[in-house]
Structure 1
């Protein structure tokens, strides 16, 4: 009987050891050090313009945040490829971030900017959230927009982000207040005619406030960084001044930079300064 009993005990030890080894092996297999991946022209809707590119960094995990880029073009033109310079900066200096570079439907004779383009951002965010498991990243993101794209980024973040998923927003020459006389009476730009073209209706003060980030911002708005040019023929400096005052009054973390000699965009040392400040702001609030 003793040999049989010894064999049974030995079998139990072997089975137990095998089970522990298998569990340990599974833990190692479940951990995957992910490689960098780029997915281009991901469709988030039925229109040809409803696509985005997503750049997923190596070694990403559930803490990896995403920066969503929104191009400019006066709401009527432009393309996600216009943000390629920012993608290069981000990949070089903030390599742990994912990047989502989106296109959106543009205004033409058959469409109106609002709410179409805001709805496109909502659809992008919904598509992003639905694919978090596939992308293997965090749900947290920030925005960087240029001109019309900056307006859309601010307006969506301030008025349409019901779950406060946005952790920061960066605006480069973005319109903020369509009731500002300095904007509506801008002699260098027929703003009223443009707005009528964009929105296709009689422009009431109530409607202009609805599409103005300045009028939609609340104390729940995310940290915001602003950049404007002192000689911008399209966007008066009051657009940045007004929003800066509102951010300060609401106690929202923010930064504001005015380049006195710059226009509607800049390059060289001013662009490097913009990226240096933007990089630090993203690092403090998103990275």
Structure 2
């Protein structure tokens, strides 16, 4: 699902450059003056892929919220650097927000998609919780995910948010329901082929429901904002519209935007519209 990268790159046109600097006193104690601070490739596990970048704003305190970014790439590829456009947007327009941009273990012959990648999100959340005092931030956070990363962010928020720390989740062209006939009844579907590669040839309905945010969402789900393209060759329109309907039935706060002429990513006025709506949603539900 690599076309989403163009969306992230084009986001750069709507922000100005922003830089963060770290601060340390002579004793090596960071955050003394609560200046802006950046730490790159922070390990959260033993695998080389288990790292994150963290960006802490100046003048933060125990009420400072964090946005966790989850990149796409079809569960088999991609990198946290693909989300750098969002970092610049957030730093320019949401100056009081901390940002955690994570990598996770990618699927290969030795690594299964589920529960490995969900476990990685849990490990990141656990490490963030263990460092709240060090980072001087709140335990509340929100997710922004793109494509496969949006699927993971929604699945974690709906099925693994046991301590109610995730206060909002954003899906940009994220798959939501792997039992959708648009997938299962379309033998030429690239996603159906990908599912067999990710989870094996013997896919049961029960398992596909387990890994589908649509089937895991409950009335306790955090507020959710959804963006989809009407001509997406990878993610059928029904992936967003069906979840939107279910969120409405459950009474979950949500917003849904469909760009009828767009695919797996977009630019121009639609791009500006996406960020405007997402920024407003973050302000309303996280900050």
Structure-2-length-normalised TM-score: 0.87
2: CA distance between counterparts of 1:184 and 1:33? 55
Deviations 1:260-280 (A, max 9, x none): 110001122211110000000
Tell me which stretches of 4 or more aligned residues in structure 1 moved more than 6 Å.
none
Contact 2:54 2:100 in 1 (8 A): yes
Quote the residue 1:235 is aligned against.
235
How far has the Cα of 1:33 moved from its partner?
4.3
**Aligned partners of 2:66 and 2:98 also within 8 Å:** yes
Q: Cα deviation per residue 1:87-123 (whole Å; 9 max; x = unaligned)?
A: 1110000010000000000001221100000000000
Superposition deviation, residue 188 in structure 1: 5.9
SS state of the match for residue 266, structure 2?
coil
- 1:70 maps to which residue? 70
Mapped partners of 1:126, 1:153: distance in 2: 15
Contact 1:112 1:200 in 2 (8 A): no
- Corresponding position of 1:113: 113
TM-score, normalisation: structure 1: 0.87
Q: Which residue of 2 aligns with 1:246?
A: 246
**What is the aligned partner in structure 2 of residue 264 from structure 1?**
264
In 2: Cα distance, 1:184 partner to 1:211 partner: 15
Equivalent in the alignment of 1:20: none
SS in 1 for 2:270: helix
CA distance in structure 2 between the partners assigned to 1:74 and 1:231 by the alignment: 18
Q: What is the CA distance between 1:193 and its match in structure 2?
A: 2.0
Q: How big is each residue's C-alpha offset from its partner over 1:227-265, in whole Å with a ceiling of 9 and x where there is no partner?
A: 000000000000001100110000000000000110001
Deviation at 1:185, TM superposition (A): 3.4
Asked if structure 1 preserves the Cα contact closer than 8 Å seen for 2:190 and 2:234, the reply is no
Structure ranking higher in helix proportion: 1
Q: In 1, Cα distance between the equivalents of 2:241 and 2:136?
A: 39
Name the CA shift for 1:186/1:229 in 2 (closer, same or farther; >3 Å). farther
Q: Which moved more, 1:247-256 or 1:31-40?
A: 31-40
Equivalences for residues 124-135 of structure 1 within 5 A: 124-135=124-135
Give matches, 1:78-117, under 5 Å. 78-117=78-117
Structure 1 residues 185 and 234, CA gap change in structure 2 (3 angstroms): farther
* Residue of structure 2 in register with 1:38 after alignment: 38
Which residue of structure 2 lines up, in the alignment, with residue 8 of structure 1?
none
1:191 CA displacement: 2.4
Q: Which residue of 2 aligns with 1:13?
A: none
- The 2-side partners of 1:32 and 1:45 are apart by 27
Asked if the contact 2:183/2:192 (under 8 Å) is kept, the reply is: no
> What secondary structure, in the 3-state scheme, does the structure 2 residue paired with 1:171 have?
strand
Aligned pairs, how many? 257
Return the offset for 1:189: 3.0
Q: What residue is the counterpart of 2:19 in the other structure? A: none
Give the C-alpha shift of residue 200 in structure 1: 2.8
User: Helix, strand or coil: the match of 1:126?
Assistant: helix
Runs (5+) with no aligned partner, structure 2: 1-30
CA distance in 1 between counterparts of 2:202 and 2:131 reads 40
Q: Whose relative contact order is higher, 1 or 2, with alpha carbons under 8 Å and at least 6 apart?
A: 2
Per the alignment, in what secondary structure is the counterpart of residue 145 of structure 2? strand
Unmatched segments (≥5 aa) in structure 1: 1-30
Whether contact under 8 Å (2:172, 2:226) holds in the other structure is: yes
Provide the rounded CA distance (Å) in 2 between the counterparts of 1:186 and 1:252.
Answer: 31
